[in-house]
Structure 1
Amino acid sequence: MRVIQATRLGGPEVLALADMPDPVPGPDQTLVDVEAAGINFADIKRIEGSYGATTTPFVPGSEVIGRTADGRRVMGFATNAYASKALIGDPVDVPDDLKPGQALALLVQGLSAWHLLRTAARLSPGETVVVNAAAGGVGHLAVQLAREFGAGRVIGTASTAEKRDLVLELGADAAVDGDADGYAERVVEAGQGRPADIVLDAVGGRVFEAALDALAPFGRLVTYGSSGGEPLPAVDPGLLTQRNISVTGYWLGGSLHLPGMTTPLRELMELTAIGRLRPLAGGEYPLADARRALEDLAGRRTTGKLVLIP
């Protein structure tokens, strides 16, 4: 089978096309011919070595959609996903009319958005929710789910006017520039003078600090990444106490072993089927163009779910 390997730790330039033997299914594993492999920001972090020690070479990726030997179209979590064949556990059937990018958007990004709002932020009806990087993979679904879950006002941040227009199209009440300078003032203005009850942030750095300033009393900032390239700053517990605010973190990969964490996928599929949730299929790249795909993702030049097509 054809695969993409990280030949060493580093940026997308370390990726190379290679041949490997077909994988052999073990207990509770299903072999699929890969229709598409999902691309996630976590793949960039793993290739960099930011997610702990990794022996090279290795095949990145964690999710695929494909066909089983008996013709079922399924998706699921996989290791070594950047490949023409992959092994998955607990396969989920996918309708033929759903684009691969739309389906895979629900797996990592959709589950992440669901848990960010429900499990980590504990959204209550009527609260003001701010979604940073709202045109991205998790962000565009979080905007829609916040509305679905009863948020009183949904505000998205994005770096360009085109992306902000998309955020409004997806149902946000307002869309503002996500730059750290003037962030809190723009958020409060977009909230009609009301600070945010919840901010979902995967940008980090100065944007994270600015988001703290935008929180209302008892507001919650949920951090789930640092795609801006700046490290997450230290948080003074005294500041949290004085302002009655909190910071919590969420990572889907670190929670999947817990009971029930994938159960919301059924709800996400149902909402998509009835048209109340619109997962955006982003760019489709040939498997051999994995380097370009990750460069585009890292450069924040994309919207929606990116996939590799073997």
Structure 2
Amino acid sequence: MRAIISNSHGPVLQEASKPVYGSDGVLVRVRAGSLNRIDLALMKGMTHGGLGGSGFPLGVEWAGEVVEVGGSVTRWAVGDRVMAAGGGAFAEFAVGSERQMYAVPEGVSFEQAACLPVSMQTMHDALSTNGKLAQGQTVLFQGASSGMGIMGMQAAKYLGAGMVIGSSTTQERRDRLKEFGADMVFDSRLPEWVSEVLEATNGRGVDLLIDFLAGPLVNDGLLATRIGGRMINIGRMAGESGEFNFDLHNMRRIKYIGASFRLRTPEEVAAVIEKASEALGPALKEGALRMPMDSVYPMEEAHKAFEKMAQNKHFGKIVISID
């Protein structure tokens, strides 16, 4: 099969062995895969939660159709259209786990479907399981113009949030955030952003802050979150370390929760996917959740897709079509 492989020259299209699946596995003919930020690290030969490494097909999010099923699989059949967060996405074939795939809704293309699983399960886990979002509560997405943020704002609205607030450092992106559920937007580079959030929440602060940035913005996040509120860390785009005001955290009694998937067991991940599918599956069918596609590249131009991701100038997802 053809696959986009990580080597010292970056992403390269070459022949690779078709993956092997077990009795509980599903072989999928991949039709599209979308890029995620972690793909830039995997491209350099790094590993991520057991995925990646030099010589392995890149990509962690795909959509396609089932072509073979293991002997113990009962949930899926040949011909089913499926999508999943899983390794080897940028190849003609990938292996899915029976409990870790979603059905592609009718009317949704493979390119669109490949943009959904990672953000859908991560955001439901952050908002509902860890964030304990309740009807009418206020949610702030720090770094909302990412694919995660775009999905998160829509999911928050669907799950009953009241005011949804999102940040971005560019005016063009802030303008677009309102298309995807943001009631208020702000520029996190401006020193007055905390005051703006407090004013919008009548001095109280937000109930829940979903943080994709971390770094030097964490302490301001503590100020923008209400007393007894929750902060869920998903990403660390602004820095993996920095000063943390322990006194402020303690005084405001804020729950600061990490939500990485990397050290979760397959059973734990399967439980997350089942919850997300049950809660957000109807929203997908209704069209209440959508992800803008910034661009679509053929496999032969995968290097252009990775270059665009590295430039961080896209809005929505970058997709590779697997023909």
| TM value normalised by structure 2 | 0.84
Residues 1:262 and 2:273 aligned together: yes
Residue 28 of structure 2 aligns to which amino acid in structure 1?
Answer: V
Shift of 1:94: 1.7
Asked whether 1:203 is paired with 2:213, we answer yes
Q: CA shift at 1:234, angstroms?
A: 4.9
How has the CA–CA distance of structure 1 residues 55 and 68 changed in structure 2, closer, same or farther, with 3 Å as cutoff?
Answer: closer
SS at match of 2:315: coil
Report the equivalent of 1:7: 7
- d(CA) in 1 for partners of 2:181, 2:272: 26
Mapped partners of 2:220, 2:306: distance in 1: 27
Q: Is the contact between residue 63 and residue 110 of structure 2 (CA under 8 Å) also seen in structure 1?
A: yes
Tell me the equivalent position of 2:249: 240
Aligned match of 1:134:
144
Task: Tell me the number of residue pairs that the alignment of Structure 1 and Structure 2 aligns.
Answer: 305
Paired AA for residue 211 in structure 2 = D
Per-residue deviation at 1:219?
Answer: 2.0
Per the TM alignment, residue 95 of structure 1 is displaced from its structure 2 partner at its CA by 3.5
Superposition deviation, residue 130 in structure 1 = 0.4
**C-alpha offsets along residues 165-212 of structure 1, whole Å, 9 cap, x if unaligned?**
221122221111132643322322443544222111112222333322
| 1:84 maps onto 2:99 in alignment | no
- For residues 168 and 41 of structure 1, the distance between their equivalents in structure 2, rounded to whole angstroms, comes to 23
Q: 1:244 to 1:102 in 2, by over 3 A?
A: same
RMSD: 2.5
Q: Which amino acid aligns with 1:6?
A: S
Query: Which residue identity lines up with residue 90 of structure 2 in the other structure?
Result: Y
Give the alignment of 1:273-292 within 5 angstroms: 273-292=285-304
Over 3 Å counting, the alpha-carbon distance change for 1:151 and 1:75 in structure 2 is: closer
Query: Alpha carbons of 1:101 and 1:175: their partners in 2 closer, same or farther (altered >3 Å)?
Result: farther
Q: Give the superposition deviation at 1:110.
A: 0.7
Residues 244 and 260 of structure 1: CA distance in aligned 2, closer, same or farther (over 3 Å)? same
**CA drift at 1:141:** 1.4
- Seen in structure 2, the aligned counterparts of structure 1 residues 131 and 119 have a Cα distance that, compared at 3 Å, is same
Q: Which runs of 5+ in 2 are unaligned?
A: 68-77
Q: Deviations over 1:246-289 (max 9, x none)?
A: 31111234445316211122432211212332333332122233
Q: Alignment partner of 2:273: what SS?
A: coil
Structure 1 counterpart of 2:72? none
Task: Identify the match of residue 173 of structure 2 among 163, 172, 177.
Answer: 163
Query: TM-score when scaled to structure 1?
Result: 0.87
